[in-house]
């Protein structure tokens, strides 16, 4: 079996804290918050065991929250050896209850759960809550409740519903909090994490994504040596940053391949080519495949069929270029992937080097190409990738690019065929929207903002004349991870300006509407 949780390739001279994942919705967030405090963290599945944790020589251990009751059959249990590693332990929510249960505290299922905002009343600050207000807001999400701490522990605080909302044993170096320090609704949460990481674990808080660049470059050089490597560039932040890191490491041994399928936003293809070929001098093969894709899409309006056609064709084009670059004795043997730490976690925390993202951007290459993967971002979260991108001098526009679906504008020309005419119209409408959103300083606040062009025309009146034109839909959402999303409350004046420009500048458009559906029940895209 593949080694499920080999330590990530990060400079070993920084301290690390392990977060064990008991299935809580905020587990990834805990790991990110620890890193924001300047300490490298890994999120490991709870079943890896104490030996696996010890192998990383962490300075501390955090047990996450989780959806189970400690009394439920099959609920993840605490390996007692985890409390004997000689490093401080912080249990959060379910993690605290596990500690309480294991060491003889009193945990019971309460009549009333405690969900959402609550007030923490500190009776004794102890070491963990030292210097923090005696009354503070906190975020709760639990039904099981700790009624008494284990013998030898001090109860530090209570909340509206929880008699023991924080406890500690300084002697054993074990700490527990019922609330979630990692969410923004616990305003002193980050202070508590810092206290645990700095004062209690004694971590050197110097980790930052940007200062691992030199080490990553060394690792890439070790892996690739003097051989050739290729990278599929999509214009997104992940593949851009991965390509730049590899280029810094091995220079012109890298060739990037950019397939323009004709479904990109206005000028996007040119920008990618300009940035990489002209500014960074990265050898780049740019394939203009617009006609090829449009031909394949002719007559297709069903969304999944469009996705399939674009995905398959993309692989075909990429494969042709990759084969050209890989042929011959000096050919490329390595393929760069922009795999992120969240992908690693989602695929079970393993090294997973063999799983190429099925995502069509760089996806699904046939086995006989026999590339070895280079994944310089696999230790990093998205926000850290942006920091590395900025460090490498990637333009702000690329560093902060909103997510863009692989099939591009084809799935935003809805209810009909993605023809060149309709794609161009959508591209122009989208350019106006982006221009206005950026002008208003809102681009970074939105998860995504884009236009949709339904196959619908409506009647209007312009300059005393009846018009019969297209409707453009504005879709703008806020979100943390695209799993859920809220429609963005854009200012009315801005909406008016956007609508006026679209109707004024685009002859074929005579009506602009706003999508006010959240996800769920809607999805972010219309197709
Ligand atoms: P939905 O529409 O499902 O989208 O709420 C969630 C996120 O996924 C993106 N998306 C895609 N990305 N290929 C991609 O690479 C696709 O086929 C695709 N469909 C949706 C969408 O833009 C949003 O960020």
**Domain range for residue 437?**
419-514
Place of tokens 């769920």: 520
Helix residue ranges, H only, 195-236 = 213-224
Q: Note the pLDDT of residue 171.
A: 97
pLDDT on residue 481: 83
Same domain, yes or no: 114 and 220: no
The helix (H) or strand (E) run that includes residue 318 is helix 303-326
Let me know if residue 408 belongs to a domain. no
DSSP assignment of 256-283: EEEEE-S-SPTTHHHHHHIIIIIIS---
Write down the pLDDT at residue 371. 86
- Condensed to tens digits (0 to 9), the pLDDT of residues 206-244 reads 999 888 899 999 999 999 999 999 999 999 999 999 999
483, with CB counted inside 10 A (0-12, 13-18, 19+), is exposed
Q: Are 378 and 358 members of one domain?
A: yes
Does this model's pTM top 0.85? My answer is: yes
Residues 392 and 294 in one domain: yes
| 258, β-bridge pairs | 233, 286
Burial 63-83 (b: 16+ CB within 10 A, else e): bbbbebbbeeeebbebbeebb
Question: Rounded to whole angstroms, how far apart are CA atoms 2 and 7?
Answer: 13
Check whether residue 97 and residue 155 sit in a common domain.
yes
- Examine the domain organization and report whether 112 and 258 are in the same domain: no
Which residues' Cβ are closer than 6 Å to ligand 1?
307, 359, 403, 405-407, 448, 482, 519, 523-525
Look up the CATH number of the domain holding residue 137: 3.40.50.880
Residue 139 burial (CB count, 10 A) = 22
- Helix or strand holding residue 345 (H, E): helix 341-346
Residue 76 lies in a domain: yes
Task: Choose the final residue of a domain: 139, 167, 200.
Answer: 200
40 φ/ψ sector (left φ>0, alpha ψ -120 to 50, else beta): beta
> Closest ligand 1 atom to the C-alpha of 479?
24
Instruction: Tell me: do 262 and 152 sit in the same domain.
Output: no
Pocket test for ligand 1, best of 315, 338, 482 (most atoms within 8 A of CB): 482
Tell me how far the alpha carbon of residue 415 lies from the centroid of ligand 1, in angstroms. 17
CATH number, domain containing residue 434: 3.30.300.10
CA of 336 from ligand 1 middle (Å) equals: 22
Q: Which atom of ligand 1 is nearest to the CA of 447?
A: 24
DSSP string, 22-89: -S-TTHHHHHHHHHHTT-EEEEEEGGG-HHHHHHT--SEEEE---SS-TTSTTPPPP-GGGGGSSS-E
Last residue of a domain, one of 399, 430, 457: 399
Answer yes or no: is 1 within a domain. Answer: no
**Together in a domain, 391 and 428:** no
Quick count: other Cβ atoms within 10 Å of Cβ 504?
11
Specify the residue with its C-alpha closest to ligand 1, atom 6.
482
Q: Which of 412, 524, 526 to mutate to test the pocket of ligand 1 (most atoms within 8 A of CB)?
A: 524
Distance 98 CA to ligand 1 centre (A): 38
User: Does a structural domain hold residue 412?
Assistant: no
On whether residue 526 sits in a domain, the answer given is no
Judgement on whether residues 263 and 349 belong to the same structural domain of the protein: yes
Atom of ligand 1 nearest to the CA of 359: 15
CATH number for the domain including 234?
3.40.50.620
Tell me the three-class secondary structure of 162-189, residue by residue. Answer: CCCCEEEECCCCEEEECCCCCCCCCCCH
Domain count, the chain: 3
Atom of ligand 1 nearest to the CA of 307: 17
The pLDDT value given to residue 368? 59
Nearest CA to ligand 1 atom 4: 524
Looking at the domain assignment, is residue 67 inside a domain? yes
| Residue 13: predicted pLDDT | 79
| Residue 149 · residue 157 · CB < 8 Å | no
Say if residue 228 is in the same domain as residue 346: yes
Q: Are residues 226 and 170 in the same domain?
A: no
- CA-nearest residue, atom 18 of ligand 1: 405
User: For residue 262, what are the CA distances in angstroms to 143, 253, 294?
Assistant: 52, 28, 8
* Mutation test residue for ligand 1: of 236, 307, 340, 403, the one with most atoms within 8 Å of CB: 403
Please check whether residue 520 lies inside any domain of the structure. Answer: no
Question: Are residues 389 and 330 part of one domain?
Answer: yes
Q: Which two tokens stand for residue 482?
A: 């695209």
CA of 477 to the centre of ligand 1 (A): 13
Q: How far is the CA of 254 from the centre of ligand 1 (A)?
A: 29
Question: Are 225 and 366 members of one domain?
Answer: yes
pLDDT of residue 95: 97
Residue 448 Cα: closest atom of ligand 1 = 24
Question: How much is the pLDDT for 367?
Answer: 59
Q: How far is the CA of 114 from the centre of ligand 1 (A)?
A: 34
Active site residues: 93, 180, 182
Q: Does residue 523 fall inside a structural domain?
A: no
- The pairing of strands 284-288 and 254-260 is parallel
Residues in the chain predicted with pLDDT less than 70, given as ranges, are 1-4, 329, 348-369
Domain end marker among 163, 182, 200: 200
Q: From 214, 222, 212, select the one nearest 334 (Cα to Cα).
A: 222
Supply the pLDDT for residue 353: 30
């Amino acid at each position: 079996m593949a080694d499920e949780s080999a330590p990530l390739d990060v400079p070993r001279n920084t301290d690390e804290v392990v977060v064990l994942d008991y299935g809580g919705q905020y587990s990834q967030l805990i790991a990110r918050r620890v890193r924001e405090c300047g300490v490298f963290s890994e999120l490991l599945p709870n079943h890896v065991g104490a030996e696996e944790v010890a192998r990383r020589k962490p300075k501390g251990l955090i047990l996450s929250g989780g959806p189970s009751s400690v009394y439920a059959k099959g609920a993840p249990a605490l390996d007692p050896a985890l409390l004997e590693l000689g490093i401080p332990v912080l249990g959060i929510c379910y993690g605290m209850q596990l500690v309480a249960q294991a060491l003889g505290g009193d945990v019971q299922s309460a009549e009333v759960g405690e969900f959402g905002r609550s007030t923490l009343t500190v009776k004794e600050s102890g070491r963990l809550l030292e210097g923090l207000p005696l009354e503070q807001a906190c975020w709760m999400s639990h039904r099981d409740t700790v009624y008494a701490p284990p013998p030898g522990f001090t109860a530090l605080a209570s909340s509206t519903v929880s008699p023991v909302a924080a406890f500690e044993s300084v002697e054993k170096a074990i700490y527990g909090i019922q609330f979630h320090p990692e969410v923004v609704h616990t305003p002193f949460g980050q202070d508590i994490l810092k206290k645990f990481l700095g004062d209690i674990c004694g971590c050197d808080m110097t980790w930052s994504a940007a200062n691992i660049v030199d080490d990553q470059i060394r690792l890439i050089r070790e892996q690739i040596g003097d051989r050739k490597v290729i990278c599929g560039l999509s214009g997104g932040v992940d593949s851009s940053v991965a390509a730049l890191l590899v280029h810094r490491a091995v220079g012109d041994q890298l060739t990037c391949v950019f397939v323009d399928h004709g479904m990109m936003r206005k000028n996007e293809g040119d920008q990618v080519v300009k940035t990489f070929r002209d500014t960074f001098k990265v050898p780049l093969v740019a394939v203009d495949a617009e006609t090829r894709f449009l031909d394949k899409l002719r007559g297709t309006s069903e969304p999944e069929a469009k996705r399939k056609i674009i995905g398959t064709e993309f692989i075909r084009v990429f494969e042709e270029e990759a084969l050209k670059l890989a042929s011959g004795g000096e050919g490329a043997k390595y393929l760069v992937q922009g795999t992120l730490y969240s992908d690693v976690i989602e695929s079970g925390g393993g090294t997973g080097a063999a799983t190429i993202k099925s995502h069509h951007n760089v996806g699904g290459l046939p086995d006989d190409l026999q590339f070895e993967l280079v994944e310089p971002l696999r230790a990093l979260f998205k926000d850290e990738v942006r920091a590395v991108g900025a460090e490498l001098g990637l333009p702000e526009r690329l560093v902060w690019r909103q997510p863009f679906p692989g099939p591009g504008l084809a799935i935003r020309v809805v209810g009909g065929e993605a023809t060149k005419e309709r794609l161009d119209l959508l591209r122009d409408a989208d350019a106006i929207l982006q221009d206005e959103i950026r002008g208003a300083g809102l681009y970074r606040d939105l998860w995504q903002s884009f236009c949709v062009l339904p196959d619908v025309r409506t009647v209007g009146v312009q300059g005393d004349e009846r018009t019969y034109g297209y409707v453009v839909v504005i879709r703008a959402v806020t979100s943390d991870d695209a799993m859920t999303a809220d429609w963005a409350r854009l200012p009315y004046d801005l909406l008016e300006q956007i609508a006026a420009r679209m109707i004024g500048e685009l002859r074929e458009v005579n009506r602009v509407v706003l999508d006010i559906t959240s996800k769920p029940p809607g999805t972010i895209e219309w197709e």
